C-alpha cells in the first residue's frame, strides 16, 4: 500500500550550508514508539500518544524528534523487519495520525525524523514474497541468493558468516528453490541487494514519498552494512571451535557504501533541507568513519559509531558478553580519539550515550544505588552535554531511568537478540561440554541486554506509570512511584529532569560546547577533564568529571590537579551536581577537590 504524495513541506535547502548549520547545535530526542505513550489503552505506544507529549519535549529543549520504526511489520525484531515502508503499523495508528503528529511537531518549531531500515526488510514484504516465488522473478535479484556447498556429504551454507543475532549462520535455506538467502540479522530479515540499481531506485522513490509528506530526514539503520564482499568469501577464524564466524569487514564499512550514499544524496537528499544520520557499527579507525560526514563528500551529516559502546564488552565489543573489569582509562581513550579525531578529519560527531539497543548509562558507567542515582545521572548529563557533535537524548535518559531490576527473571526479557543470544550460547556450551551456568548468563543480560532501554516511559505515579491504561506489552520498571517519573521531577527543582533542561539550555548559551575544539587533559585515570575552546568567540570552558567508582561502585572522592599551562585564574563555575557549591565560584590553589561522582564546568 502506498499513499499520495503531498505538497513539499520542507524548507528549500540552502545553496551554501553554513559551517554552523542548525543541526550541529540541535538536541535530538529518540522516541522508542512501542514504549513511549499509549493514548488508546492497548498497552502499546501510539502516534497520537507521542503527539500528546510534544509540548513536554519542547519544554525539555528538544529540536528534533526521531521516531524508531513505526512501519507495518510482523515484529520479529520490534519493527526493524519492515513489511511496508509506506504506511504505519496499525499498532501505532494511521497515516492521518502520523500527519497529526507531524503538524504538532512542526507547530512547536521542531523537526520530525523517521527511521530508515533499508539494509534488510521483512520476509513478509511483498518484494521478498515475489523473490521467493521463482528464480526468474524480477525481484529475485533484489535479495542475495546463493547455492550451498557440499561438505562431508552434506549441503552447507555458502560461507561461514555468523548472524549478528544468535550464534548461527547468516544463511537460510529455501527448500523450493534449493538456494540460500542472506540475512545478516534474523532469518526473518533478508538483506537487500544494493548492487541492483532497480532496488536502489525504488528506495530513493520511497524516501521522497516521506520527505514530500513532511518528514524532516532519516536515521539510517546499519547503513554501512549495505555493501557486501562481491565474492561472499569465508570470514577468518577468530572464534576457534565455532562453525560460524563474524563477517566483519566482509559486510561492514566497505568502500562501495560511499558510492551508494553519494547516489542517495544526488537522487534524493540534495533537494531537501533534511537531517540525516547513519548508524555505522564496526571496529575501524575514526578515519574510516569521517568520510561519511565530510560536507564535500555529499553523503550524510553524521554517523553513529559504536566504539564507545564496547568499553564494557568482552572480545570485539560487538556483542552482549560483559567485561566487568573495564577501565575508565580505556573509556576515556575512545572518547578522546573520536572527539579529537573526527574534527581533525573534517567530519561531525553524533553524540549519544543511550539508545534502544543499549543498557541505561547510569547503571552501566556509574551507580544506580538509590542514594547515588540522581547525583550520577546529573554527572552523566554534564558529560553528555559537553562533548562534541549533535546531541541525541534517548527517552527516559532525562529522568535518570536505570536498568531493569536485578530481581527480574529472564522470562521478562522480550528482545529477540537476548533470547537468541542465550539460546545460542547455551547450545554451544552443551556441545562443547562446558557448564551451562544459566544464572551467570542471565546476570550478564541484566547488564547488557537491549531490554534495559525498552521498558515503558515513566510519566507519573498512576497505574503503569501513566504509559498506558491497558496491560503494557513490556513490564514497567518497578521504581516509577519512587520519584523516577516526569510528573514528580517536573515539580522538583533539584531533579534530574530540571538538571537536563539546564544543561541543554547551557549548551546553546555557550557555543564553545558545540563548536569548540575538544582538548583532553592529563589527569588521574578516573577523572575525565577536558576543555572546549572556540577562538572565534574567545570562549573557553573547563569540564572536570569524577568517575571513580570504588570497589563497591558507590564512588570515591578524588583530587583534580590543574595541569601546567592551563590558566584558571579567571575561572567561574557555571554548573555542578554538587548542590553545596555556588555558581560563579573559582579555582584556588591549583586543585579541585571532587566528591563522589562530582562534576563541574567552569568558564575560563
Q: Residues 72, 77, 97, 279: which is the catalytic one?
A: 279
Catalytic residue among 63, 81, 191, 221: 221
- Residue 5 is predicted with a pLDDT of 33
Q: Which domains does the chain have, with CATH numbers?
A: 22-121+197-501 (3.20.20.80), 126-182 (3.90.400.10), 516-603 (2.60.40.1180)
Cα(103)–Cα(120) distance, rounded to whole angstroms? 30
Determine contact, residues 141/194, Cβ cutoff 8 Å. Answer: no
Banded pLDDT at 315 (limits 50, 70, 90): low
With bands split at pLDDT 50, 70 and 90, how would you rate the model's confidence at 7? very low
Percent share of the chain, pLDDT over 90: 80
- pLDDT surpassing 90 at residue 49: yes
Write phi, then psi, for 56 (nearest 5 degrees). -60, -45
3-state secondary structure of 191: strand
Give tens-digit pLDDT for 488-504. 999 999 999 999 999 99
Taking the C-alpha atoms of residue 164 and residue 186, their distance in angstroms, rounded to an integer, is 8
Q: Could you report the per-residue pLDDT of 406-463, keeping only the tens digit for each?
A: 887 777 777 777 777 777 777 878 888 888 777 777 777 777 788 888 999 999 999 9
pTM here?
0.92
Distance CA 132, CA 126 (A): 10
pLDDT > 70 fraction of the chain, expressed in percent and rounded: 96
Give whole-number Cα distances, 151 to 133, 154, 174, 233, 264, in Å.
Answer: 28, 5, 18, 16, 41
Residue 279 annotated to the active site: yes
Interval 337-353: pLDDT, tens: 999 999 999 999 999 99
Nearest to 401, CA basis, from 486, 464, 517:
486
Task: Return the pLDDT at 4.
Answer: 32
Q: What is the pLDDT of residues 174-216, one digit of tens each?
A: 999 999 999 999 999 999 999 999 999 999 999 999 999 999 9
The predicted pLDDT at position 274 comes to: 95
* 221 catalytically annotated: yes
Tens-place pLDDT, residues 269-297: 999 999 999 999 999 999 999 999 999 99
Does 360 have pLDDT greater than 90? yes
Mean pLDDT of 215-233: 97
Q: Please write the tens of the pLDDT for every residue from 70-109.
A: 999 999 998 999 999 999 999 999 999 999 999 999 999 9
3-state secondary structure 540-591: EEEEEEECCCCCCCCCCCEEEECCCCCCCCCCEEEEECCCCCCCCCCCCCCE
Task: Indicate if the pLDDT at residue 13 is higher than 60.
Answer: no
Least confident of 227-236, 247-256, 577-586: 577-586
Residue 405 has pLDDT above 60, yes or no: yes
Amino acid at each position: 500500500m502506498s499513499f499520495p504524495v503531498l505538497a513539499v513541506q520542507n524548507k528549500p535547502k540552502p545553496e551554501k550550508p553554513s559551517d554552523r548549520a542548525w543541526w550541529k547545535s540541535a538536541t535530538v530526542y529518540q522516541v522508542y514508539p512501542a514504549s513511549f505513550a499509549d493514548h488508546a489503552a492497548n498497552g502499546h505506544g501510539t502516534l497520537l500518544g507521542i503527539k500528546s507529549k510534544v509540548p513536554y519535549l519542547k519544554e525539555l529543549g528538544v529540536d528534533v524528534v526521531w521516531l524508531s520504526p513505526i512501519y507495518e511489520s510482523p515484529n520479529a525484531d520490534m519493527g526493524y523487519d519492515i513489511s511496508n515502508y509506506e504506511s504505519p503499523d496499525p499498532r501505532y495508528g494511521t497515516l492521518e495520525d502520523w500527519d497529526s503528529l507531524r503538524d504538532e511537531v512542526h507547530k512547536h518549531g521542531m523537526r520530525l525524523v523517521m527511521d530508515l531500515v533499508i539494509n534488510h526488510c521483512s520476509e513478509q514484504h511483498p518484494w521478498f514474497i515475489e523473490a521467493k516465488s521463482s528464480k526468474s522473478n524480477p525481484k529475485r535479484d533484489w535479495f542475495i541468493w546463493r547455492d550451498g556447498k557440499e561438505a562431508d556429504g552434506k549441503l552447507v551454507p555458502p560461507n561461514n558468516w555468523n548472524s549478528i543475532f544468535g550464534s548461527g549462520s547468516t544463511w537460510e535455506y529455501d527448500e523450493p528453490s534449493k538456494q540460500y538467502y542472506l540475512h545478516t540479522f534474523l532469518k526473518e530479515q533478508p538483506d537487500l541487494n544494493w548492487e541492483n540499481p532497480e532496488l536502489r531506485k525504488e528506495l530513493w522513490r520511497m524516501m521522497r514519498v516521506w520527505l514530500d509528506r513532511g518528514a524532516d530526514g532519516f536515521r539510517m539503520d546499519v547503513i554501512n552494512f549495505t555493501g557486501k564482499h562481491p565474492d561472499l568469501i569465508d570470514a577468518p577464524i577468530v572464534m576457534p571451535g565455532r562453525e560460524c564466524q563474524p563477517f566483519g569487514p566482509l559486510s561492514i564499512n566497505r568502500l562501495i557504501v560511499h558510492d551508494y550514499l553519494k547516489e542517495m544524496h544526488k537522487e534524493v537528499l540534495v533537494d531537501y533541507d533534511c537531517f540525516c544520520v547513519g548508524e555505522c557499527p564496526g571496529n575501524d579507525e575514526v578515519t574510516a568513519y569521517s568520510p561519511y560526514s565530510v560536507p564535500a563528500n555529499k553523503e550524510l551529516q553524521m554517523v553513529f559509531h559504536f566504539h564507545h559502546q564496547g568499553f564494557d564488552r568482552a572480545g570485539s565489543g560487538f556483542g552482549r558478553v560483559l567485561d566487568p573489569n573495564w577501565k575508565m582509562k580505556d573509556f576515556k581513550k575512545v572518547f578522546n580519539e573520536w572527539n579529537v579525531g573526527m574534527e581533525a578529519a573534517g567530519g561531525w560527531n553524533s553524540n549519544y550515550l543511550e539508545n534502544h539497543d543499549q543498557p541505561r548509562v547510569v547503571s552501566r558507567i556509574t551507580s544506580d544505588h538509590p542514594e547515588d542515582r540522581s547525583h550520577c545521572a546529573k554527572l552523566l548529563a554534564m558529560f553528555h552535554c559537553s562533548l562534541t557533535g549533535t546531541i541525541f537524548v534517548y527517552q527516559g535518559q532525562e529522568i535518570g531511568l536505570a536498568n531493569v531490576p536485578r530481581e527480574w527473571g529472564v522470562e521478562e526479557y522480550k528482545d529477540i537478540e537476548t533470547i537468541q543470544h542465550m539460546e545460542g550460547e547455551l547450545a554451544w556450551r552443551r556441545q562443547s561440554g562446558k557448564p551451562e551456568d544459566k544464572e551467570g548468563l542471565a546476570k550478564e543480560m541484566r547488564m547488557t541486554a537491549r531490554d534495559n532501554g525498552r521498558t515503558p516511559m515513566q510519566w507519573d505515579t498512576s497505574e503503569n506509570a501513566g504509559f498506558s491504561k491497558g496491560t503494557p506489552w513490556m513490564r514497567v520498571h518497578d521504581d516509577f512511584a519512587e520519584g523516577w517519573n516526569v510528573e514528580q521531577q517536573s515539580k522538583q527543582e533539584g531533579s534530574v529532569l530540571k538538571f537536563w533542561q539546564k544543561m541543554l539550555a547551557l549548551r546553546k548559551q555557550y557555543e564553545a560546547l558545540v563548536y569548540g575544539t575538544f582538548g583532553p587533559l592529563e589527569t588521574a585515570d578516573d577523572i575525565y577533564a577536558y576543555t572546549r575552546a572556540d577562538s572565534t568567540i574567545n570562549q573557553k570552558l573547563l569540564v572536570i568529571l569524577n568517575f571513580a567508582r570504588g570497589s563497591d561502585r558507590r564512588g570515591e572522592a578524588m583530587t583534580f590537579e590543574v595541569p601546567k599551562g592551563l590558566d584558571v585564574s579567571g575561572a567561574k563555575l557555571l554548573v555542578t551536581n554538587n548542590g553545596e557549591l555556588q555558581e560563579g565560584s573559582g579555582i584556588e590553589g591549583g586543585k579541585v577537590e571532587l566528591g563522589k561522582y562530582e562534576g563541574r564546568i567552569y568558564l575560563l
